[in-house]
């Protein structure tokens, strides 16, 4: 497996990088994807139940049910370690003058691999927020995998909500603003998309806009997506194979 020579040449001029990742990157760590073949939501019945339990609507009526579904996701992810793709992105961050990582993943594996400037646009599976006083907190993974009821706030006793964005909920305003600033106002030299079918507009658009503006754009995915015809370089294969090559070519 090799990178196209034109891409290797273009990488020499790159100083700033914006990376965008999704479930495909974590799948190589053994975390099931949500959609797509074999995904959690692929099973029509179980998928619908899971989506329903992980919705803002259910949270407001039956937070215990939402938390049990979060605990189920955490169990599926327990023991997962960062893989070569996570490590490669952390390496690119160390080498680049400026780096930002926009991820849809809530598993914290990018941060565990050493990525620092991360916009986890869908939040984190271990984060909590009090629905009464707004206090932010973290749950231990061991507590999360065994959870049966909605946890309570240490400060006020109110019910805590998951820190992840649930189905039917808006994206967090502060993270959307960071995305705008990092990908649009200070457009990176390279926009690199890996392991996501990029169905959400806010995931696909930074790459589309960068490609139109003449920036270097690269997509790494096992299958073609709607982005593949738009980016400058489509690399067909797993992120764990291609991202280390990209990191190695990066000066
Ligand atoms: Zn509280």
- Domain count for the chain, please give it: 2
Residues 86 and 148 reside in one and the same domain: no
Residues 136 and 226 reside in one and the same domain: no
Distance CA 45, CA 23 (A): 21
Residues 156 and 205 reside in one and the same domain: no
Task: Supply the pLDDT for residue 50.
Answer: 86
Residues 101 and 210 reside in one and the same domain: yes
Distance CA 215, CA 66 (A): 42
Q: In what order do the strands lie in the sheet with 136-138?
A: 136-138, 127-130, 160-162
Residue entry with tokens 């909605």: 150
Q: Please state whether the predicted TM-score (pTM) of the whole model is above 0.75.
A: yes
Q: How close is the Cα of 159 to the center of ligand 1, in Å? A: 7
Q: How close is the Cα of 138 to the center of ligand 1, in Å? A: 13
Task: Supply the pLDDT for residue 40.
Answer: 54
* Domain assignment of residue 37, yes or no: no
Q: How close is the Cα of 57 to the center of ligand 1, in Å? A: 20
Distance CA 27, CA 121 (A): 18
Q: How close is the Cα of 128 to the center of ligand 1, in Å? A: 10
* Domain assignment of residue 90, yes or no: yes
Q: How close is the Cα of 117 to the center of ligand 1, in Å? A: 28
pLDDT along the chain (251 residues), means of 10: 94 97 91 58 71 93 96 88 97 98 95 97 94 95 93 97 93 96 98 89 94 97 94 96 95 77
Residues 111 and 191 reside in one and the same domain: yes
Residue entry with tokens 């099931």: 32
Give the residue from 128, 133, 154, 26 showing the smallest Cα distance to 67: 128
* Domain assignment of residue 35, yes or no: no
Residues 137 and 231 reside in one and the same domain: no
Residues, Cβ < 5 Å to ion ligand 1: 130, 132-133, 135, 153, 155-156, 158
Domain containing residue 68 = 44-76+127-162
Residues 104 and 114 reside in one and the same domain: yes
Active site positions, annotated: 122
CATH code for the domain in which residue 150 is found: 3.30.1600.10
* Domain assignment of residue 149, yes or no: yes
Q: Quick one: tokens of 250? A: 């990066």
Residues 19 and 94 reside in one and the same domain: yes
User: How do residues 183-201 score in pLDDT, each as one tens digit?
Assistant: 999 999 999 999 998 778 8
Q: How close is the Cα of 169 to the center of ligand 1, in Å? A: 21
Residues 72 and 184 reside in one and the same domain: no
């Amino acid at each position: 497996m090799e990178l196209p020579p034109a891409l290797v040449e273009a990488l020499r001029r790159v100083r700033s990088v914006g990376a965008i990742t999704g479930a495909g990157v974590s799948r190589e760590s053994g975390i099931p994807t949500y959609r797509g073949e074999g995904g959690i939501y692929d099973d029509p019945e179980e998928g619908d139940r899971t989506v329903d339990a992980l919705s803002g609507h259910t949270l407001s009526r039956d937070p215990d049910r939402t938390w049990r579904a979060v605990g189920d996701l955490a169990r599926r992810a327990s023991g997962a370690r960062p893989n070569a793709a996570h490590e490669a992105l952390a390496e690119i961050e160390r080498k680049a003058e400026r780096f930002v990582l926009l991820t849809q993943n809530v598993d914290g594996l990018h941060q565990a691999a050493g990525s620092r400037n991360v916009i986890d646009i869908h939040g984190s599976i271990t984060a909590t927020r009090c629905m009464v006083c707004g206090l932010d907190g973290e749950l231990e993974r061991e507590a999360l995998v065994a959870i049966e009821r909605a946890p309570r706030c240490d400060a006020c006793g109110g019910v805590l909500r998951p820190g992840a964005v649930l189905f039917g909920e808006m994206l967090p305003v502060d993270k959307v603003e960071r995305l705008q600033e990092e990908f649009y106002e200070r457009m990176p030299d390279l926009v690199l998309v890996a392991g996501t079918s990029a169905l959400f507009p806010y995931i696909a658009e930074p790459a589309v806009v960068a490609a139109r503006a003449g920036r270097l754009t690269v997509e790494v995915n096992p299958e073609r997506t709607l982005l593949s015809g738009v980016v400058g370089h489509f690399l067909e294969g797993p992120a764990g194979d291609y991202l280390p090559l990209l990191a190695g070519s990066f000066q």
